[in-house]
Amino acid sequence: MKHLLLRHVLLCVLLPLFPATALAADPQDAVLQEVGVDEKPGAAIPRDLPFTEASGKPVRLEDYLGDGPVLLTLNYYTCPMLCPLTFRGLAATMAQMKGFSLARDYRVVTVSIDPDEIPEIARAKANETHTLMPGLREADARWPFLYGSAGSIRRLTESVGYRYTKVGSEFAHPAVTIVLSPGGTVSRYLYGVEIDPRDLKLALIEASEGKIGASSAGNALLMYCFRYDPVGKKYILYARNIMKAAGAVTLILLAVLLAVLWRRYGRSEGSPGKGE
């Protein structure tokens, strides 16, 4: 599904860039070969990479690490279609995800893949996206929009296996949210413009090793019942563990029932009758 969506978006972007006579060669297929994700679970992002916030403040990636997992998105701020859809979709997913708060439990960090990014446009894109989350305090700190040099961009994208290419004045790139551990290692890749809130919640629990939100026991239970499917790229119910849990509950209930029956009937049958 994500590949069909990506093809559709790229086709809309690329059609105006090629003459009608060239369309027979299906140029978007050649572009798609250069665009994608080479997953690198466990890889560490370069923490010391310098970037600039939309506010103009110089920062390093490590400034956003250490106090919870991070959702890394790689976009560009003049993107006409895919990036705005991604930002709106992610904001909507976070709003639907119960129990975790962007203001407290995790961050989103967006980095532009365009080394010629204009600060004014970065600021405008940050403001536009932050309005999707009314009431979010310290929005620039919780969801910063960064831009930087070609070298910093290249080192970051290569570290997470993110492949993109420039076509005319636009960029062809995948729609993916990269989930990082608090220390900055790649934990999971979530694909598509719209991410299932359950998948996002489970990915954050996994990246934080359960140390997120208010209930560690609830997090452990969720991770016991769900597993990530590397083929479908989603979290699915893990039938074996559910059967184990159901079996354990059944044994406990049976033991309780037997104890109650023994107390009610076993003692009376075993005790001596009156007059004996």
| pLDDT of 274 over the 90 cut | no
Residue 248 lies inside a defined structural domain of this protein: no
What pLDDT score was predicted for residue 3? 47
What pLDDT score was predicted for residue 236? 87
| pLDDT of 269 over the 60 cut | no
Q: Would the CA dihedral through 194, 231, 11, 186 be positive or negative?
A: positive
Residue 256 lies inside a defined structural domain of this protein: no
Helix (H) or strand (E) holding 9: helix 2-14
- For residue 81, the tally of other CB atoms under 10 A from its CB is 14
Is the distance from CB of 193 to CB of 230 less than 8 angstroms?
no
What pLDDT score was predicted for residue 267? 56
Residue 264 lies inside a defined structural domain of this protein: no
Q: Per mean pLDDT, which range of 80-84, 195-199, 238-242 is the poorest?
A: 238-242
* Tokens coding 256: 């309780």
Question: pLDDT > 70: what percent of the chain?
Answer: 76
Domain that holds residue 177: 2-211
Residue 95 lies inside a defined structural domain of this protein: yes
In this predicted model, which residue has the larger pLDDT, 256 or 176?
176
Residue 28 lies inside a defined structural domain of this protein: yes
pLDDT by residue (tens digit) across 106-157?
Answer: 999 999 999 999 999 999 999 999 999 998 999 999 999 999 999 999 999 9
* Tokens coding 60: 């390093």
pTM of this structure: 0.77
Residue 223 lies inside a defined structural domain of this protein: no
d(CA 171, CA 163): 11
HEC string for 136-190: CCCHHHHCCEEECCHHHHHHHHHHHCEECEEECCEEECCCEEEEECCCCEEEEEE
**Rg of the chain on CA atoms, in Å:** 25
Count how many domains the chain has: 1
Q: Per mean pLDDT, which range of 16-30, 161-175, 217-231 is the poorest?
A: 16-30
Residue 19 lies inside a defined structural domain of this protein: yes
Domain of 141, CATH number, reads 3.40.30.10
Q: What is the mean pLDDT of residues 78-94?
A: 96
Residue at token pair 């992610």:
90
Residue 229 lies inside a defined structural domain of this protein: no
Cα 262 to the center of its chain, rounded Å: 52
